[in-house]
Amino acid sequence: MYRIQIPATSANLGAGFDALGLALTYYNYVEMEECDRLDIASADDIEVPCDERNLIYLSAKDLYAVCGRKLEGLKLRQTNNIPMARGLGSSSACIIAGLVGANKMLGDPLTKDDLVDLAAQIEGHPDNTAPALLGGIVTAVFDGRKVHWVKQEVYTKLKFVAMIPDFELKTEEARACLPKEVSHKDAVYNLSRAALFSASLLTGKFENLRTAVHDKLHQPYRMELIPGCREVFDIAYTHGAYAGYISGAGPTVMAIVDEENKFFAGKMKFSLDNAGLGGWQVKELAIDNEGTLITDV
């Protein structure tokens, strides 16, 4: 039996739509072993699909197929701490769990690069799957077949504080609201900021982050789908966040905060409750530099 620990991820990081993502210290756990049938259960009270639609199983089956093998069955026990459909990479965590577990069961025939590519093909974009596997901040370009990526470990005095609402937003819906075309000016607006984000994060020029997270490709459209979002941003800036952005496809809003700003999370929760936004949970996280871990149990 293998035990897999997979981190939550925050994608886009403002302007880096479908290209930038980082791993967070917030984990799902999956216990996995080969079995002659499907035996899937939740190890907590979170409901998961227990049949062939299960994403961990489907991803494991894909990896077996790539290796010319048939997966007859699978025993899975899932602990789902990462909330679903909230922009924190819960689907990617399932995909990575399935791939890493299946690869281990077959004796590690695929390389890390292979897993990054396969995960992006399953998910359609690499900005959650790659950091979920690799950890750190990952810059990734998916050319349709292969992912060209760089992982950078981040050791900063920054906290990532997630404001997670009590409603879901499906990625398909949050992608369907985006424009099919954008202007040259907007493209330049975004690419310059995406580049500024990683450079500023990695060199400690945090005063740039507020400018770097602005974008014209997705956040203005998605904001309309997230009631309370604007107010959450305003409150985060009032309490001294360096930057705030919609995490992945939303609806979670992520604030980047200095570790010296000790009571940010408490102040945030108090202000949200006072503003009638009591359904928003506040969770203080940091960057995970390890990525997915698998152990024998």
Other Cβ atoms closer than 10 A to 181? 6
Chain centroid to CA 164: how far?
Answer: 13
Q: Smaller CB distance to ligand HSE: residue 124 or 227?
A: 124
Shortest reach from residue 95's CB to ligand HSE, in Å: 11
Q: Does 125 bind ligand HSE (CB under 6 A)?
A: yes
268 Cβ contact list (under 8 Å, min separation 6) = 161, 163, 235, 236, 239, 255, 282
* Choices 34-42, 68-76, 142-150, 167-175 (CB under 6 A): range interacting with ligand HSE: 167-175
Among 62, 127, 215, 288, indicate the residue that binds ligand HSE (CB under 6 A): 127
Shortest reach from residue 98's CB to ligand HSE, in Å: 17
Pairwise CA distance, residues 240 & 242, whole Å:
6
Q: Does 18 bind ligand HSE (CB under 6 A)?
A: yes
Q: Smaller CB distance to ligand HSE: residue 67 or 84?
A: 84
Binding mask 240-259 for ligand HSE (x = CB under 6 A): --------xx----------
Please, which of residues 200-229 interact with ligand HSE by CB under 6 A? Answer: 218
Over the range 53-84, which residues count as b (16 or more CB within 10 Å of their CB) and which as e? ebbbbbbbbbbbebeeeebeebbbbbbbebbe
Shortest reach from residue 218's CB to ligand HSE, in Å: 6
Chain centroid to CA 10: how far?
Answer: 4
Among 171, 198, 271, 292, indicate the residue that binds ligand HSE (CB under 6 A): 171
Binding mask 34-63 for ligand HSE (x = CB under 6 A): ------------------------------
Q: Does 175 bind ligand HSE (CB under 6 A)?
A: yes
Pairwise CA distance, residues 120 & 91, whole Å:
12
**Torsion angle, CA of 50/56/60/63, rounded to 10 degrees?**
140
Pairwise CA distance, residues 153 & 275, whole Å:
37
Binding site: residue ranges?
83-93
Q: Smaller CB distance to ligand HSE: residue 11 or 229?
A: 11
Binding site for ATP: residue ranges?
83-93
Shortest reach from residue 173's CB to ligand HSE, in Å: 10
Q: Smaller CB distance to ligand HSE: residue 17 or 26?
A: 17
220 Cβ contact list (under 8 Å, min separation 6) = none
Q: Helices (H), strands (E): how many in the chain? A: 10, 11
- Where does this chain bind ligand HSE (CB under 6 A)? 11-12, 17-18, 125, 127-128, 171, 174-175, 218, 248-249
